[in-house]
Amino acid sequence: MRERQIQILDILGEKKRVPVLELSELLKVSDVTIRKDLATLEDKGLLKREHGFATLPESDDVSTRLLFNYEIKRRIAKKALESVKDYEIIMIESGACCALLAEELILNRRGVTIITNSVFIATFLRDKVGVRIILLGGEFQPEAQVMVGPLIKKCAENFHVDKLFVGTDGFNET
């Protein structure tokens, strides 16, 4: 993802709805360039375009949560990436940071296999060439875009993985 697209997500995360012209002024590029970036981000499910505006999707799904503190989540994903080598088998749980890690793996590691219960991650990476994604079965939760339930455990037991990454909803030192 381009730096400018990351900036767009950060701005949208703060303002929720931003005019295209305001984005082009803030980022000092043409409105045509902003519209191309918005189309790319919309294709990834990260925002919605309305006439003359970029807006957050109207739900609490992963793509919406991905927008909040985007740059921090991206840094966490890059740090996690450091522990993964080429050709490893990685199991990744659902969540925003985990989705960004999956993208980093595809962009920066060769031959990695990703096993996940996240339909969002599988969809998020659908256009990446050479990616091997194994989607674990289970009951589908549409809002979270994730497979859950006892079948997940049965499916996961059949795999040996080099690394496992899980998401958290927060952290408190106390």
What is the domain-level CATH number for residue 11? 1.10.10.10
Same domain, 105 and 43: no
- pTM for this entry: 0.69
Question: What's the rounded Cα separation, in Å, for the pair 95 and 52?
Answer: 30
Q: Which domain holds residue 89?
A: 80-165
Domain count, the chain: 2
- Domain membership of residue 124 (yes or no) is yes
Reported residue count of the chain is 174
Same domain, 10 and 87: no
pLDDT value of position 57: 72
91: buried, middle or exposed (CB in 10 Å: 19+, 13-18, 0-12)?
buried
Binned at pLDDT 50, 70 and 90, residue 46 comes out as confident
Same domain, 149 and 94: yes
pLDDT value of position 44: 78
- Domain membership of residue 54 (yes or no) is yes
pLDDT at 122 over 80: yes
According to the per-residue pLDDT averaged within each range, which of 4-18, 40-54, 153-167 is highest?
153-167
Question: What's the rounded Cα separation, in Å, for the pair 168 and 94?
Answer: 10
pLDDT value of position 70: 80
Same domain, 40 and 86: no
Residue 80, number of CB atoms within 10 A of its CB? 19
pLDDT at 61 over 70: no
- Domain membership of residue 116 (yes or no) is yes
Residue type, 102: A
> What percent of the chain has pLDDT above 70?
93
Question: What's the rounded Cα separation, in Å, for the pair 137 and 57?
Answer: 26
